């Protein structure tokens, strides 16, 4: 992993993300009524982002070798079934 400055910059930026998203509405909510349309659109962003992180890790492909199936794919499939069966987050 990269040098210390890079890591701390990334950590501070992430902390800033959290502060903006979690406290923004609490602190400045008086001034920004959220339009219902925007509110419903935002609902889909987090899960879409999560799945977009997961998929390339589980099922990678390259132009040279095509799709790669390995143990990660099997492990994810099994986990998915276990999670769904137990409905345990």
Residue 14: count of CB within 10 angstroms of its CB = 10
Are the C-beta atoms of residues 50 and 64 closer than 8 Å to each other? no
Helical residues (DSSP H) of 1-89, grouped into ranges: 4-28, 36-42, 45-58, 71-86
Among 20, 68, 69, 81, binds other proteins (CB under 8 A): 20
Among 61, 69, 74, 81, binds other proteins (CB under 8 A): 61
Any contact of residue 25 with other proteins (CB under 8 A)? yes
Residues in CB range of 37: below 8 A, 6 or more apart: none
Any contact of residue 65 with other proteins (CB under 8 A)? no
Among 68, 72, 74, 81, binds other proteins (CB under 8 A): 72
* Binding site residues, other proteins, CB under 8 A: 1-2, 4, 6-27, 29-30, 34, 39-63, 72, 75-76, 79-80, 83-84, 87-89
């Amino acid at each position: 992993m990269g040098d210390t400055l890079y890591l701390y910059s990334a950590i501070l930026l992430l902390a800033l993300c959290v502060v903006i998203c979690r406290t923004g509405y609490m602190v400045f909510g008086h001034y920004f009524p959220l339009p219902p349309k925007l509110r419903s659109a935002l609902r889909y962003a987090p899960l879409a982002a999560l799945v977009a992180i997961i998929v390339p890790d589980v099922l990678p492909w390259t132009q040279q070798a095509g799709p790669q199936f390995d143990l990660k794919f099997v492990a994810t499939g099994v986990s998915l079934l276990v999670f769904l069966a137990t409905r345990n987050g």
